[in-house]
Amino acid sequence: MSDSDRLSVTLPSAPGNLPLVRHAIRGFLDASDVADPPAGEVLLAVTEACANVVQHAYLGDPEPGAIELEAELSGNQLVISVRDHGHGFAPRLDSPGAGLGLPVIASLTDRLEIRPTPGSGTEIMMAFALNEAA
Amino acid sequence: MPTFDRSTVEERATVVVIKGELDIGSADALRSALDAAAAEGTAVVRLEAAGVHFLDSSALGVILAAGQRLAERGSRLELANATPAVRRILEMTLITRTVHVIP
Protein backbone atom coordinates (compact mmCIF):
# COMPACT_ATOMS: atom_id res chain seq x y z
CA MET A 1 0.00 0.00 0.00
CA SER A 2 1.42 3.40 -0.98
CA ASP A 3 1.12 6.68 0.91
CA SER A 4 -1.33 7.87 -1.72
CA ASP A 5 -3.72 5.14 -0.59
CA ARG A 6 -4.01 6.56 2.92
CA LEU A 7 -4.94 9.88 4.44
CA SER A 8 -4.73 10.84 8.08
CA VAL A 9 -5.92 14.22 9.33
CA THR A 10 -6.36 15.51 12.89
CA LEU A 11 -8.04 18.85 13.49
CA PRO A 12 -9.64 20.68 16.42
CA SER A 13 -13.36 20.02 16.61
CA ALA A 14 -14.57 23.40 15.34
CA PRO A 15 -17.24 24.29 12.75
CA GLY A 16 -14.78 26.36 10.76
CA ASN A 17 -12.58 23.33 10.16
CA LEU A 18 -15.09 21.34 8.14
CA PRO A 19 -14.12 23.01 4.84
CA LEU A 20 -10.53 21.93 5.58
CA VAL A 21 -11.71 18.35 5.98
CA ARG A 22 -13.47 18.50 2.60
CA HIS A 23 -10.38 20.06 1.02
CA ALA A 24 -8.24 17.17 2.31
CA ILE A 25 -10.71 14.56 1.04
CA ARG A 26 -10.95 16.22 -2.37
CA GLY A 27 -7.17 16.26 -2.67
CA PHE A 28 -6.94 12.63 -1.59
CA LEU A 29 -9.50 11.50 -4.16
CA ASP A 30 -7.96 13.64 -6.92
CA ALA A 31 -4.54 12.08 -6.27
CA SER A 32 -5.90 8.54 -6.28
CA ASP A 33 -6.22 6.20 -9.23
CA VAL A 34 -9.92 5.80 -8.63
CA ALA A 35 -11.96 6.39 -11.75
CA ASP A 36 -14.96 8.62 -11.14
CA PRO A 37 -15.01 8.47 -7.33
CA PRO A 38 -18.34 9.27 -5.64
CA ALA A 39 -16.87 12.52 -4.36
CA GLY A 40 -20.17 14.24 -3.65
CA GLU A 41 -21.44 11.37 -1.54
CA VAL A 42 -18.13 11.02 0.30
CA LEU A 43 -17.83 14.75 1.06
CA LEU A 44 -21.38 14.94 2.37
CA ALA A 45 -21.06 11.82 4.54
CA VAL A 46 -17.73 12.91 6.02
CA THR A 47 -19.03 16.41 6.71
CA GLU A 48 -22.08 14.99 8.48
CA ALA A 49 -19.88 12.72 10.60
CA CYS A 50 -17.56 15.59 11.54
CA ALA A 51 -20.54 17.88 12.26
CA ASN A 52 -21.76 15.25 14.73
CA VAL A 53 -18.43 15.49 16.52
CA VAL A 54 -18.58 19.31 16.51
CA GLN A 55 -22.14 19.37 17.87
CA HIS A 56 -22.05 16.55 20.37
CA ALA A 57 -18.74 14.95 21.23
CA TYR A 58 -17.11 17.60 23.37
CA LEU A 59 -20.21 19.39 24.60
CA GLY A 60 -19.46 21.07 27.92
CA ASP A 61 -15.71 20.73 27.62
CA PRO A 62 -13.71 23.93 28.17
CA GLU A 63 -11.74 23.34 24.97
CA PRO A 64 -12.84 21.37 21.90
CA GLY A 65 -11.05 18.08 21.43
CA ALA A 66 -9.84 16.57 18.20
CA ILE A 67 -11.50 15.16 15.12
CA GLU A 68 -9.38 12.31 13.77
CA LEU A 69 -10.05 11.35 10.19
CA GLU A 70 -8.50 8.42 8.38
CA ALA A 71 -9.19 7.40 4.82
CA GLU A 72 -7.94 4.26 3.13
CA LEU A 73 -8.31 2.94 -0.38
CA SER A 74 -8.35 -0.82 -0.40
CA GLY A 75 -9.35 -2.88 -3.39
CA ASN A 76 -12.57 -1.49 -4.73
CA GLN A 77 -13.64 0.37 -1.65
CA LEU A 78 -12.88 3.56 0.22
CA VAL A 79 -13.08 3.31 4.00
CA ILE A 80 -13.20 6.51 6.05
CA SER A 81 -13.21 6.66 9.82
CA VAL A 82 -14.07 9.75 11.85
CA ARG A 83 -13.05 9.44 15.49
CA ASP A 84 -13.32 11.59 18.57
CA HIS A 85 -12.45 11.15 22.21
CA GLY A 86 -15.51 12.86 23.61
CA HIS A 87 -18.71 11.89 25.36
CA GLY A 88 -20.77 10.25 22.64
CA PHE A 89 -23.64 11.53 20.53
CA ALA A 90 -26.35 12.06 23.12
CA PRO A 91 -29.26 14.06 21.67
CA ARG A 92 -29.30 17.80 22.45
CA LEU A 93 -32.49 19.73 22.95
CA ASP A 94 -30.64 22.82 21.68
CA SER A 95 -29.03 21.01 18.77
CA PRO A 96 -28.29 23.35 15.87
CA GLY A 97 -28.61 20.47 13.43
CA ALA A 98 -31.70 19.12 11.74
CA GLY A 99 -31.30 15.65 13.24
CA LEU A 100 -30.67 14.28 9.77
CA GLY A 101 -26.96 13.58 10.03
CA LEU A 102 -26.84 9.85 10.71
CA PRO A 103 -29.75 8.99 8.38
CA VAL A 104 -28.03 10.95 5.62
CA ILE A 105 -24.75 9.13 6.26
CA ALA A 106 -26.53 5.78 6.26
CA SER A 107 -28.13 6.48 2.90
CA LEU A 108 -24.81 7.57 1.33
CA THR A 109 -22.62 4.69 2.44
CA ASP A 110 -22.43 1.06 1.48
CA ARG A 111 -21.52 0.13 5.06
CA LEU A 112 -21.75 2.16 8.23
CA GLU A 113 -20.53 1.21 11.69
CA ILE A 114 -20.68 3.33 14.82
CA ARG A 115 -18.67 2.09 17.75
CA PRO A 116 -16.95 3.35 20.90
CA THR A 117 -13.39 4.59 20.54
CA PRO A 118 -11.01 2.79 22.92
CA GLY A 119 -10.77 4.93 26.04
CA SER A 120 -13.62 7.32 25.36
CA GLY A 121 -15.39 8.71 22.36
CA THR A 122 -16.97 7.42 19.19
CA GLU A 123 -15.84 6.18 15.80
CA ILE A 124 -17.97 6.37 12.68
CA MET A 125 -16.68 4.03 10.01
CA MET A 126 -18.05 4.57 6.51
CA ALA A 127 -17.34 2.40 3.49
CA PHE A 128 -17.97 3.41 -0.12
CA ALA A 129 -17.86 1.04 -3.08
CA LEU A 130 -15.65 2.25 -5.94
CA ASN A 131 -15.33 1.60 -9.62
CA GLU A 132 -12.29 -0.33 -10.77
CA ALA A 133 -9.12 1.76 -11.19
CA ALA A 134 -8.76 3.51 -14.55
CA MET B 1 -73.41 28.46 -16.16
CA PRO B 2 -69.93 28.96 -14.71
CA THR B 3 -67.86 31.95 -15.67
CA PHE B 4 -64.09 32.12 -16.01
CA ASP B 5 -62.52 35.54 -15.57
CA ARG B 6 -58.80 35.55 -16.16
CA SER B 7 -56.37 38.04 -14.63
CA THR B 8 -52.63 38.18 -14.09
CA VAL B 9 -51.21 38.58 -10.60
CA GLU B 10 -47.66 39.72 -10.07
CA GLU B 11 -45.77 38.54 -7.01
CA ARG B 12 -42.87 40.35 -5.45
CA ALA B 13 -39.85 38.25 -4.57
CA THR B 14 -36.78 38.84 -2.48
CA VAL B 15 -33.85 37.11 -4.12
CA VAL B 16 -30.86 35.90 -2.12
CA VAL B 17 -27.90 34.86 -4.26
CA ILE B 18 -25.79 32.38 -2.32
CA LYS B 19 -22.27 31.41 -3.28
CA GLY B 20 -20.00 29.03 -1.42
CA GLU B 21 -20.26 25.94 0.77
CA LEU B 22 -23.01 25.71 3.38
CA ASP B 23 -22.37 23.61 6.46
CA ILE B 24 -22.59 23.91 10.24
CA GLY B 25 -19.90 26.58 10.17
CA SER B 26 -21.97 28.86 7.94
CA ALA B 27 -25.41 27.96 9.32
CA ASP B 28 -25.67 31.10 11.48
CA ALA B 29 -24.78 33.37 8.57
CA LEU B 30 -27.32 31.58 6.39
CA ARG B 31 -29.99 31.95 9.08
CA SER B 32 -29.30 35.68 9.34
CA ALA B 33 -29.48 36.10 5.57
CA LEU B 34 -32.80 34.25 5.37
CA ASP B 35 -34.25 36.16 8.33
CA ALA B 36 -33.31 39.45 6.66
CA ALA B 37 -34.89 38.31 3.41
CA ALA B 38 -38.07 37.21 5.19
CA ALA B 39 -38.27 40.60 6.91
CA GLU B 40 -38.73 42.21 3.49
CA GLY B 41 -42.26 40.83 3.67
CA THR B 42 -42.52 39.73 0.04
CA ALA B 43 -44.67 36.83 -1.09
CA VAL B 44 -41.63 34.89 -2.22
CA VAL B 45 -38.10 34.48 -0.95
CA ARG B 46 -35.99 32.92 -3.68
CA LEU B 47 -32.59 31.42 -3.04
CA GLU B 48 -30.44 31.48 -6.15
CA ALA B 49 -28.31 28.44 -5.48
CA ALA B 50 -26.27 28.00 -8.67
CA GLY B 51 -23.18 29.00 -6.71
CA VAL B 52 -23.73 26.56 -3.86
CA HIS B 53 -21.48 23.57 -4.34
CA PHE B 54 -21.95 21.97 -0.96
CA LEU B 55 -24.91 21.76 1.40
CA ASP B 56 -25.10 19.62 4.54
CA SER B 57 -28.00 18.76 6.82
CA SER B 58 -27.22 21.62 9.22
CA ALA B 59 -27.70 24.18 6.46
CA LEU B 60 -30.65 22.21 5.17
CA GLY B 61 -32.26 22.50 8.60
CA VAL B 62 -31.89 26.28 8.46
CA ILE B 63 -33.51 26.39 5.01
CA LEU B 64 -36.29 24.07 6.13
CA ALA B 65 -37.07 26.21 9.19
CA ALA B 66 -37.12 29.38 7.07
CA GLY B 67 -39.46 27.70 4.60
CA GLN B 68 -41.83 26.70 7.39
CA ARG B 69 -41.85 30.22 8.89
CA LEU B 70 -42.62 31.73 5.49
CA ALA B 71 -45.38 29.20 4.85
CA GLU B 72 -47.00 30.10 8.18
CA ARG B 73 -47.53 33.66 6.99
CA GLY B 74 -48.63 32.64 3.51
CA SER B 75 -45.33 33.25 1.76
CA ARG B 76 -43.07 30.64 0.22
CA LEU B 77 -39.40 29.81 -0.09
CA GLU B 78 -38.06 28.90 -3.50
CA LEU B 79 -34.73 27.31 -4.30
CA ALA B 80 -33.60 28.05 -7.83
CA ASN B 81 -30.89 26.50 -9.98
CA ALA B 82 -29.73 23.96 -7.43
CA THR B 83 -26.48 22.21 -8.28
CA PRO B 84 -26.27 18.40 -8.24
CA ALA B 85 -24.65 18.53 -4.80
CA VAL B 86 -27.63 20.46 -3.45
CA ARG B 87 -30.21 18.36 -5.26
CA ARG B 88 -28.70 15.20 -3.80
CA ILE B 89 -29.52 16.09 -0.21
CA LEU B 90 -32.83 17.73 -1.13
CA GLU B 91 -34.05 14.56 -2.76
CA MET B 92 -32.61 12.37 -0.03
CA THR B 93 -34.49 14.19 2.70
CA LEU B 94 -37.68 14.95 0.75
CA ILE B 95 -37.34 18.62 1.64
CA THR B 96 -39.00 19.40 -1.69
CA ARG B 97 -42.28 19.06 0.19
CA THR B 98 -41.50 22.25 2.10
CA VAL B 99 -39.27 24.20 -0.25
CA HIS B 100 -40.28 24.91 -3.83
CA VAL B 101 -37.44 23.76 -6.04
CA ILE B 102 -37.18 25.55 -9.38
CA PRO B 103 -35.05 23.89 -12.06
The pLDDT of residue A95 is 64
CA distance A121 to A117: 5
More confident residue, B100 or A13: A13
Task: Name the pLDDT band for B93 (thresholds 50, 70, 90).
Answer: confident
- Helix (H) or strand (E) holding A127, with range, is strand A122-129
Whether B10 has a pLDDT exceeding 70, the answer reads: yes
Whether A30 has a pLDDT exceeding 90, the answer reads: yes
Mutate to test the interface with B, among A43, A47, A50 (most CBs of B within 10 A): A47
Contact B61 A15 (CB under 8 A): no
CATH T-level topology, domain B13-102: Transcription Regulator spoIIAA (3.30.750)
For A97-118, give the secondary structure using H, E and C. CCCCHHHHHHHHCCEEEEEECC
Task: Name the pLDDT band for B89 (thresholds 50, 70, 90).
Answer: confident
What are the tens digits of pLDDT across the range B58-76?
999 999 999 999 999 999 9
Task: Name the pLDDT band for B31 (thresholds 50, 70, 90).
Answer: very high
What are the tens digits of pLDDT across the range A51-87?
999 988 998 888 889 999 999 998 899 999 999 999 8
CA distance A41 to A103: 13
ipTM for the assembly: 0.82
State whether the Cα torsion A21-A23-A26-A27 is positive or negative.
negative
Chain A positions in Cβ-Cβ contact with residue B54 (cut-off 8 Å): 22, 43-44, 47
Domain ranges of chain B: 13-102
The pLDDT of residue A42 is 96
- Least confident residue range of A24-28, B31-35, B70-74, B96-100: B96-100
Domains, chain A, with CATH or none = 3-129 (3.30.565.10)
Nearest chain A Cα distance for residue B92, angstroms: 7
| DSSP bridge pairs for A127 | A79, A111
Q: What is the mean pLDDT of chain A?
A: 88
Q: Give me the mean pLDDT over the A19-23 stretch.
A: 96
Contact B60 A100 (CB under 8 A): yes
Chain B positions in Cβ-Cβ contact with residue A97 (cut-off 8 Å): 24, 57-58, 61
